[in-house]
Amino acid sequence: MRGLPGLFLDQLRQAASDDNLIVDPADCWTYGYDNSRRHHPPDAVVFATTTAQVQAIVQCCFESTVPITARGRGTGTAGGSVPVAGGVVLSLERMIRILETDPANRLMRVEAGVINQSVQTEAGQHGFFWAPDPTSAAYCTVGGNIAHNAAGPRSLKYGATRENVLGLTAVTGDGRLIHTGGRTSKQATGYDFTRLLIGSEGTLAIVTEAILKLIPRPEARRTLQAVYRDITSATAAIARIMAQSVTPCALEFMDATAIGMIRDYSTAELPTDAGALLMIDVDGSESGLNADVEAIRRAATVDGLLRVATARDNTEAEALWATRKALSPALRKLAPNKLNEDVVVPVSRIPELIAGLERLSREYGIPIVNFGHAGNGNIHVNLLYDTQDPTQEKNALPCLSRVFDLVLSLDGTLSGEHGIGLAKRDYIDRAIDPDTLALMRAVKRDFDPKGILNPGKLFADNLVRNS
């Protein structure tokens, strides 16, 4: 990698100011990684504070054909913000203004660097919430949520990011400022560029502002924990729950391996013969919640149910959720390295997925732990391995490849909420047919003629290097 030309850096300083530009390699280093643990250092980091600055910075990069990778807080797990082509990292972490809160029209207008939790706090003061609730909500940005179509447990009832954004302000790869959508929930004027940009991982345009759809906060919420003998009975319960009229706010799943890890590495008390566990949240009005909970409880009662507990208050709810929260620390204790994939299959095929994953685990000698959002078939598949173990290190990626083949054979998809990024780009041609991929590349060229926006992501051949 070669450094950026002095003339280009001067233009970048003019666009962003000296206070917003970093060129020292030691200072740039930290902006070369995200939560995927992948790393590639950028040549420069520039901080934007306004949409006009973003536009000027992108225009500089376009004129000099310098790669530019937009970044929020780097919480993504698929390598989506790793600047593999070098060039410029454009950090939006200083664009943190909540520009407008409009309860009457159930919307909020924010800059891309606003933290998800800040949105929730502001919305909560007016009796509302924003639906996306990823695990990283305390740290991740709205721009990052938009880039990857983030979701979380309550997407089952309220939808992912794509269903909860009304409009966007963004800058294309050649520096054009575009506005998509608007301030109304019903929009049928022209192409839906809002939904196109959401989930595009910053490869089409850099989002600077968003109009978010707010939802009235439910009056009450109740938590249930159901433990089953095996995955088959748990899946039968999931199907019954999703077939009746009450939609849970969250329906989370853990397999036998995950339960065993929690039992071994925490103080949680679970039956020794537990083969699967469901965490279920139900929300709604105070007057109707008891009836809704009872409907969910009846649906969850199938042959193979070992026990079901219902929290009577927030303290008991937190105690039940502590079982799920104990999983991540347990994962870290079991193995130093992991491949965390967020695959999706039809709910009815979850048993086939889990059975197939168990076979692959035995074949490759790689522990696989599964948990996730069972109500929409979004399962987090964790391949645990140790790079100091030659066999495990050799087998990890071949095992992952077989996992993706298994998912696709079950009519599933490679990602539900983490995106493709670097982690899955080499597998995308298995999931999307050649004609559709060609059309996607054509759309990319129209939005980003020189291919400078987040190169190397989504498509393995989408890579423009700093020269």
> So what's the pLDDT on residue 87?
97
Paired with 378 in beta bridges are: 344, 373
Helices then strands (H, E): number in the chain?
16, 18
According to DSSP, the β-strands at 368-373 and 250-255 are antiparallel
Nearest Cα to Cα of residue 354 among 221, 225, 199, 233: 233
Class of domain 6-94: alpha beta
> So what's the pLDDT on residue 464?
58
> So what's the pLDDT on residue 467?
45
> So what's the pLDDT on residue 1?
38
The secondary structure of residue 247, as a DSSP letter, is: P
Class of domain 220-328: alpha beta
Topology alike, domains 6-94 and 335-425: no
335-425: CATH architecture: 2-Layer Sandwich (3.30)
Residue where the block lists tokens 């939904």: 195
CA distances for 230 relative to 235, 368, 441, angstroms: 9, 17, 44
**pTM value > 0.85:** yes
CA gap 244, 130 in Å, rounded: 25
Instruction: Give the pLDDT confidence of 427-456 residue by residue, as tens digits.
Output: 999 999 999 999 999 999 999 999 999 999
> So what's the pLDDT on residue 2?
56
The secondary structure of residue 32, as a DSSP letter, is: G
Paired with 381 in beta bridges are: 341, 370
> So what's the pLDDT on residue 333?
72
Which residue ranges in the chain fall short of pLDDT 70? 1-2, 266-267, 329, 332, 461-467
Domain residue extents for the chain: 6-94, 98-216, 220-328, 335-425
Instruction: Give the pLDDT confidence of 280-328 residue by residue, as tens digits.
Output: 999 999 999 999 999 999 999 999 999 999 998 888 888 888 777 777 7
CA gap 108, 123 in Å, rounded: 8
DSSP, collapsed to helix, strand or coil, labels residue 51 as helix
Domain 98-216 CATH (choose: 3.20.20.210, 3.40.50.300, 3.30.465.10, 3.10.290.10): 3.30.465.10
